């Protein structure tokens, strides 16, 4: 990704294999895993740091039947086992493992190593924010759809092409009711207009073209 500046070029293995690095790798031992192996879980007892020597790994959160991918790790990336994430080898993978306490010494000797951590953690943060946004946004959509259905049932009037609903509220008022911002409400309503679920008659009146589809949408959230 271009926005990652030069951090993408940082590869811990290059740093560690450079002649001036001495015996930085002495605390690390190599471990190999075949593809599709779950390598670490949040229940891992050892507090370890590892560097990817080869292959590709996936860092993800898992709860019941849901999974959220937080990051992919590639050669030269670093990660740890003291997180609430699962780590899976996607390809045949080799990692260099060391205890977190030993790694602390490495970090003191070679502070530039922390830049690789920034790169990995930045990626993790980006994907975490996207996940939070998705979850929060989905919730708002559900509450807005519920509001529209309820208002349509309470005071909707059958009209040609659907149900006319005099909302009696401004976008601002609806936002407060649903617990979000005016912008988000407009954004979701525009999405519904684009998908032909609703039509705007005026600022406070909507035509719900397909109430049944809206109800189904609510169930599928």
* Residues making contact with ligand HEM (CB under 6 A): 49, 78-80, 82-84, 100, 103-104, 107, 117, 120-121
Q: Which residues pair with 51 in a beta bridge?
A: 78, 96
Q: Edge-to-edge strands of the sheet including 78-80?
A: 29-33, 93-99, 48-54, 78-80
- State the minimum distance, in angstroms, from the CB of residue 211 to ligand HEM: 43
* Axis crossing angle, helix 211-220 with helix 113-155, rounded to the nearest 10: 140
- State the minimum distance, in angstroms, from the CB of residue 3 to ligand HEM: 19
3-class DSSP state of 171: helix
C-beta closer to ligand HEM: residue 105 or 216: 105
C-beta closer to ligand HEM: residue 71 or 151: 71
- State the minimum distance, in angstroms, from the CB of residue 173 to ligand HEM: 38
CB-closest chain residue to ligand HEM: 84
Instruction: State the Cα torsion 186-188-190-195 to the nearest 10°.
Output: -170
- State the minimum distance, in angstroms, from the CB of residue 82 to ligand HEM: 5
Q: How remote is the C-alpha of 89 from its chain's centroid? A: 19
CB 74 within 8 A of CB 52: yes
C-beta closer to ligand HEM: residue 83 or 218: 83
C-beta closer to ligand HEM: residue 90 or 107: 107
C-beta closer to ligand HEM: residue 33 or 103: 103
- State the minimum distance, in angstroms, from the CB of residue 104 to ligand HEM: 4
Beta strands in 56-126 (DSSP E): 57-63, 66-73, 78-80, 86-89, 93-99
């Amino acid at each position: 990704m271009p926005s990652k500046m030069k951090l993408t070029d940082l590869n811990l293995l290059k740093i560690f294999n450079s002649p001036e690095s001495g015996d930085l790798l002495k605390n690390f031992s190599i471990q190999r895993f075949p593809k599709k192996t779950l390598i670490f879980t949040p229940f891992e007892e050892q507090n370890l740091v590892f560097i990817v020597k080869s292959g590709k790994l996936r860092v993800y959160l898992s709860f019941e039947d849901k999974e959220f991918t937080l990051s992919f790790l590639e050669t030269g990336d670093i990660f740890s086992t003291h997180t609430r994430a699962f780590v899976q080898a996607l390809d045949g993978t080799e990692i260099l493992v060391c205890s977190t306490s030993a790694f602390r010494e490495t970090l003191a000797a070679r502070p530039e190593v922390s830049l690789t951590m920034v790169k990995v953690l930045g990626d993790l943060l980006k994907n975490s924010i996207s996940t939070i946004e998705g979850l929060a946004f989905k919730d708002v959509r559900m509450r807005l759809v519920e509001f529209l259905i309820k208002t349509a049932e309470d005071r909707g009037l059958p009209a040609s092409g659907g149900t006319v609903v005099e909302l009696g509220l401004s976008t601002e008022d609806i936002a407060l009711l649903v617990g979000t911002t005016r912008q988000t409400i407009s954004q979701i309503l525009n999405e519904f207009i684009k998908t032909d679920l609703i039509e705007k008659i005026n600022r406070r009146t909507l035509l719900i073209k397909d109430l049944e589809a809206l109800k189904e949408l609510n169930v599928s959230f």
